[in-house]
Amino acid sequence: MTARQEDPESMTVANDTTVLVTGAGRGIGEAVATAFAAKSGRVIVTDIDPAGEAVAEAIGAAFVEADLSDMDAVRNLSSRVIADFGPIDILINNAGLQHVSAIDEFPDDMWSRIIQVMLTAPFQLMKAVLPGMKQQGWGRVVNIASVHGLIASPFKGAYIAAKHGLVGLTKTAALEVAAYGVTVNAICPGYVNTALVRNQIADLARIRGIPESEVVERVILEPAAVKRMVEPKEVARMALFLVGPDARSITGSMQVMDGGWTAR
């Protein structure tokens, strides 16, 4: 199989590109799937939430329901998608969840679930799709990490451990597949204006002993120089850039979108 030809005038690649986006039922995943469907390619939306089916219908994508917290379900997802749609050209590992708790109170089952969904499942999916990318001489993996893949905050041990692991996995994979025309990058946004973040406000208020009305200013935006949350569409545009021809030399990178948080 020959290397896929890229359109140098396009933000993305050829119209026969197959794109798999996990956790695409809402938030960042929905924005990414929508952006790719508008540009080109066959988009496959996957989510445990049936809302993903509505997203897929709205953007003209396929929907495959999958529970990434189950290792066997992830294996079945990858084999089913490849069997039904052929090799995956672009993989966007986005699915995630959050739990706010001190380490000594953190539930073991929640720890295991977060690590599986946010670190082990991306590993499993990369393991499944990279052979096809290598064979055709082209492929793109974009892992939606976080500023919390680079630094830590209290009370989010599993999330931060998973995101740090995803950053390391991104770097390792990039080195392994570069010679095959495949790039692997991570996007590391600060707090994004999604339900995942908004749903943390009550827990952050409780655990820090402050009113809910003060959480955004005193916790979420406090460390950033730019005092606003990242919008999902901004992350989607970065993902489009990373798969496009102008990013051919970018691999193993952490594209930080944190409003200056880590500049301190």
SS3 132: helix
Active site annotation includes 180 = no
Residues whose CB falls within 8 Å of the CB of residue 56, separated by 6 or more in sequence, listed in order: 24, 33, 43, 45, 62, 63
Q: What DSSP element (H or E) covers 33?
A: helix 27-39
SS3 17: coil
* Tokens linked to 26: 């809402």
* Tokens linked to 9: 């005038």
Of 63, 138, 155, 159, catalytic: 159
Left if phi > 0, otherwise alpha if psi is -120 to 50, otherwise beta: which for 234? alpha
Residues with catalytic annotation? 159
